[in-house]
Each structure stands twice: as C-alpha cells, then as structure tokens.
Structure 1
Amino acid sequence: MVESTFMNGSRRVRFVDIHGHRRAFVKTGSGPVLLLLHGVACDHTTWDRVIAPLATDYTVIAPDLLGHGQSAKPRADYSLGAYANGMRDLLAILGVERATIVGHSFGGGVAMQFAYQFPELTERLILVAPGGVGREVSPMIRLATAPGFKQLMGVLTVPGVRHVNRTGLRLAHAARLPGTRDIDEIAKIYDSFAQPGACAAVQQVLRGVVDRRGQFVTMADRAYLTESMPISVVWGAQDPIIPASQAHLVERLAPGAQVEIIDDSGHFPHRDHSEQFIRIVQDFMATTTPAPYDRERTRELLRGERSSRSARGRAVRRPIAAVASLIN
C-alpha cells in the first residue's frame, strides 16, 4: 500500500500500485470474500448502499477499476482479460486465496472473464444486470463507441454546460418523466467524464465489447465451463441499458443458476432495492458451497466430454415463463 485516505467521513479508500498504475479500493469487514466490480464509467461508490451491511458477514473488497474513479487512467489495455488480470493481482497483494465475484453491468463481464481465466480463485459468481449474456444493449452505449464521442463529451463537460445538463437530468428524474429510469445514475456517469482521461478510458473499454450492432463478447461460447460454479443473476425488470429479457438466455447458458428479477427496478437493482439485493446475496451465500476446482474435469469439458449433470444442483428461483411475464 502506498497511501490511504478517508471517504464520507468513515469509509477508508486505499491505494496500491500494480504494474506502475495506482489502483483505488475499499476493503472492510471479515469472513468469506466478496469482490464487488462496478460497471463502466462508475466506481466503487455504486455499491455504497450495500457495502456496510454485507461487511457484517463478509470481507468486502470494492475496487475502482483501472480508468475509473480514483484509480489511474493511463493509455493502457482495457480489455476484459486485462481487467481480470488486474483483479487477480489485487487479490494476490491482499492475500486473498479465493472469492465470490460480484459484477454489475460491464463488471459482470469482467466477473465472468475472471471465472474463466482463474477458476481456482473463484468460489461463486453473482451477476447484476450483466454485460456479456446476450447481444442487445442500449443505443446510448453503442453511441459511446462512435468516432467523435470523446470530442462531444469534451464540449458537454465544460463546467458551465455540465452544470446545466446535470441539473436538467436530475430534474427529469425527479419528475419521473417517461424514459428517465436510472437517469440520476446516468447523471453521475456524465459528471465523471470531466475527469482527465476518463472519457478516453471508457470509450476504449466499450470498444472492446460493443460495436454498432451491440455486444459482440458474450458468455455463450464458454458457459459450459461453469457447470460446477454456483451462479446468481439479478436483474431489474425495467432495465433500459441491458434488457432484462436477456434473463431468458441464462437458463440455456447456465442451467441451475438462480435468477432473480426485481420489480420496479432499472439497471442498478443494488441501488434501487438495496435491502432486497442484500437478502439475495446473503441467501445465495448461505445456500451454496464454493465451487471446487477440478483441473481434469476442465480438460474433459474442453475436449467436448460434457455431461448433462449440473454440479450446482440449484433450480432457477423464478420460472423463465414468469420472468417473461414481468418483462413484457
């Protein structure tokens, strides 16, 4: 650790240099480890409503991913694989042997990549409105990958312009205007683009997983490797960013995974309904056992020797038909 400070009067934000770049993170609590990975253009504060309650039973580690929050924003590798490597290195520095990986949005994609690259370090996966399940994604996300986006944000984040636009977004959210679900969180993301290097980092992140037709990196081709991995998927029924209809794919890609659809919730169910989210995590942790790592079984799966068994042994909590009725 090279330095530490305090945030919100009580939460300690720590810093460590990994490969020459500063990484910020929060670490609190004791017990089994939960690694909380935020979405693109967010930071560890997206979890601020759940960190303290979860820390009563677990060791909670919530980093700012490289290019986000208080972490460095270098010209660097922002691929899913690089992020997974960075999380491995952070856990190694902290002396963590294994963890349950909790990923929201893009962080869900990082969580799945981490489990693929480092199954020996992964006990469970909790995916919250995750990227990397299906192809569909909000047009706003596709726009962020387009040429000229960084220049546009440069104009829109000039202090006076940013203040007016941010105020307008928050007023629209307060008035509950149509199409303003999650607009308060989007206002925070918009505000973050004023940080030097933030917009360039976000655009590079998104270009690694999204093009004009949607997400092109998904879990579909490697999901069979998760047969022994306990997986929970949590989605907001009114998610405008990554549609909750993609929950249909979970049953096919990861049989035995738990699926929770939270009513009256958008892309941030851990913020919209934090108490319900905490209960879901606690129940999942209490009713599942950490995934065993079997190198030989992994070899068999890679060779195509797949069985119909599901070592998770968990039923989907809500039938997919019921999920569809909530979304449609």
Structure 2
Amino acid sequence: MSTIYRSAAGEREALLRYRAALEAWPVPAEHVRVPTREGETFVLVSGPEDAPPVVALHGSGANSSVWAGDVAAWSRHLRVHAVDLVGEPGLSAPSRPALDSDAVARWLDDVMAGLGLSRAAFVGMSLGGWTALDHAVRRPDRVERLALVCPGGIGRQTPLRLARALVWTPFGRWGRRRSVRAVLGLHDAGHAPLVEEVAATFGGFRPRTETLPVFSDTDLRSLAVPVMAVMGDKDLMIDSADTARRLRAHVPHAEVTVLPGVGHAVLGQGPAVLDFLRAG
C-alpha cells in the first residue's frame, strides 16, 4: 500500500474509479509514462501532434479526470498534456516533493523533457495552479501562457474557515459528503455525483496538509506572459479577494475574474480557458 492512502482497500477503490474514468475518456489519448527524479509520472496526451502544446495540472486530491469535460473541445485545437501530479490519487508515483524548494519545478522539468516540450501554455487548478505559477516564476522561458483556476499561493489560505467546514469529516461517508459540499461550494443537487466522487476519494486518501508557499510581490511582478485567473468569492480554502487584489496590483495585464456565489470548485470554465489559450 502506498503511504498516501489510508488503506490498501482505499487505494484499490481510488484507482478503480480512475481507470473507469480513463476508459470513458471522450477523445483518443495516448497514455504516456514519463520517468522523473520523483518517480514515474502518468500523462494523458490528446489532440493533433502539430497543435500548440498545453500542460494541464489538476488540484490536490484529484487526478487528470477533472479535465474530462473540457478535453474534447480543447483537443480540437491544442495538444493537451494532462499530467497526474505525483503524490496525488492518480497513476503517478506517490512522491511528494517539497513545496518550499525548487523540487516541484525540477520534477516538471523532467516531465516536459520526457514529453519533448521546451515551452508550453499551462492550465492549473488549485494546487496545480500553484505548480504552474511556480514554474512560470522559476522557468519563465518555458511558459507561454498561464490559465489559473482557483489558484493557490497568491491569496492567503484560510485554515479556520476550512476547519469549520471539515468538522463533519469523521462521521463516515455522510459526514464526508457534507464537508465536501461545504468546502467545494457544491450544494446543488445536480452536483451530487461529483460530491460523492470526492467524498469517496478522501475516504481512503491522505491529502497533503502543509501550507502552500505564497509567491512574493516580486514573483508576481516577474510574470510577463499572458495570465488569466478565475476564482469563486465563497472559497473556504483561499481568500479569493486577496488573490484578486494581489494579481490586479502586481500583474496588471492579467485577466482576473471573481465569480459570485462560487466556492473552491470553479466549474464550467473550459470555454473561457480555451478562448484564452487560443488568443495567442
């Protein structure tokens, strides 16, 4: 059993769900396994080989299945590389490189080298947004554009608000569902399948618990590439108002959108992201 899971049964269930999602992938995709210094990294590659490359990075407690609703549209115009972050419940190695160092950037260097990419646009969600932004700061010559969805590392994290939402977690599947709805802001009945999926994953998975390093004003001002960022004003994990304020102050060319009534799960942004990625 991998140490990122609570039990062998939890690991088996998470991987079975992911493999089912891969079997239902809406477009033809190559399953690529890239050797890296952090262990093997799994990447789903789809779209025309000669199309502009995009690297898509999911959030914590997730895997590349989060892009299933967007990849069909994106891959008509782009070469999409959906990367399973190491240390998360996907098919990549369980390694967790230190966030307060250049270890994540070096891992992503290896991934890009293995994929034959010298430069690409990046789409990042939550922890994946932090990872993409970290790469843009440390490797500015390798990032073409930066699309960030509920990104970490810009606005303050809000652990007290998060803790109040997680109070129901110990009470079995019912409690996890309630906490997931609160944390992600998914209260509509139509989101029940997604809530169930997330609750099931966190029943057997041990998420990273360290605080994300916050990018400095200087780091943000160094971003010369086109940037878009979208977040919800009801996010319980990250202070979205702080994220928007800092981006507008230090990345004035960024397209910043704060969605009213939306939590950490920012859904339905695929068309806007595609328009942004194709604008170049």
| TM-score scaled by length of structure 1 | 0.65
Amino acid in the other structure paired with 1:63? V
Which of 214, 221, 226 is the matching residue for 1:224? Answer: 221
Counterparts in 2 of 1:146-161, with a 5 A limit? 156=170
AA matched with 1:207: E
Instruction: Specify whether residues 283 and 208 from structure 1 end up closer, same or farther in structure 2 by C-alpha distance, changes over 3 A only.
Output: same
In the alignment, structure 1 residue 207 sits paired with structure 2 residue 210: yes
- Which of these residues, 60, 63, 73, is aligned with residue 80 of structure 2? 60
Q: Which residue of 2 aligns with 1:317?
A: none
* Aligned residue number for residue 236 of structure 1: 232
Question: Residue 265 of structure 1 is aligned with which of 254, 257, 262?
Answer: 262
Pair 1:192–1:180, CA change in 2 (3 A): closer
The equivalent position to 1:128 in structure 2, one of 130, 133, 149, is 149
Partner of 2:23: 8
Contact 2:53–2:81 (CA under 8 A) maintained in structure 1? yes
Residues of 2 paired with 1:266 and 1:135: CA distance? 15
1:115 corresponds in structure 2 to 136
SS at match of 2:35: strand
Q: Which residue of 1 is the match for residue 103 of structure 2?
A: 82
Q: Deviations over 1:145-181 (max 9, x none)?
A: xxxxxxx98xx5xxxx744445x539x95xxxx8872
Question: Could you tell me how far 1:264 is from its partner in structure 2?
Answer: 4.6
Contact 2:155 2:246 in 1 (8 A): yes
Q: 2:248 aligns with which of 247, 251, 271?
A: 251
> 2:273 matched to 1:281?
yes
| Distance in 1, Cα, partners of 2:128 & 2:184 | 23
Q: Establish whether residue 27 from structure 1 lines up as the match of residue 50 from structure 2.
A: no
Report the Cα distance in structure 1 between the residues aligned to 2:175 and 2:33, rounded to whole angstroms: 32
Determine what percentage of the aligned residue pairs are the same residue.
24
Contact conserved, 1:35 with 1:102, CA < 8 A, in 2? yes
**Which runs of 4 or more aligned residues in structure 1 lie more than 6 Å from their structure 2 counterparts after TM superposition?**
none
Mapped partners of 2:38, 2:71: distance in 1: 28
Residue-pair matches, total: 247
The 3-state SS of whatever aligns with 1:207 is coil
SS of the residue 2:218 aligns to: coil
| Counterpart AA for 1:92 | A
From 85, 90, 93, give the equivalent of 2:114.
93
For the residue of structure 2 that corresponds to 1:14, the secondary structure is: strand
* Distance in 1, Cα, partners of 2:216 & 2:272: 23
Distance between the aligned counterparts of 1:113 and 1:66, measured in 2? Answer: 16
| CA shift in 2, pair 1:59/1:219, >3 Å | farther
Counterpart of 2:241 in 1: which secondary structure?
Answer: helix
- Measured in 1, the distance between the counterparts of 2:112 and 2:144 equals 13
1:138 Cα deviation after fit? 4.5
2:67 matches 1:47: yes
In 1, the alpha carbon distance for the partners of 2:39 and 2:199 equals: 24
The CA deviation string for residues 181-220 of structure 1, in whole angstroms up to 9 with x for no partner, is: 236656544432455xx41xx33xx4152xxxxxx52342
Could you tell me which runs of 5 or more consecutive residues in structure 1 were left unpaired when the two chains were aligned. Answer: 145-151, 210-215, 289-328
After superposition, the Cα gap between the structure-2 partners of 1:77 and 1:224, relative to the gap in structure 1 and judged at 3 Å, is same
**2:106 maps to amino acid:** N
Counterpart CA distance in 2 for 1:34 and 1:207 is 28
Question: In the alignment, what sits opposite 2:201?
Answer: 192
Distance 1:110 1:207, change over 3 A: same
Residue deviations 1:258-295, cap 9 Å, x none?
A: 112334533222x3x2xxx233223323434xxxxxxx
Q: Distance in 1 between matches of 2:197 and 2:255?
A: 30
2: CA distance, partners of 1:25 / 1:221: 32
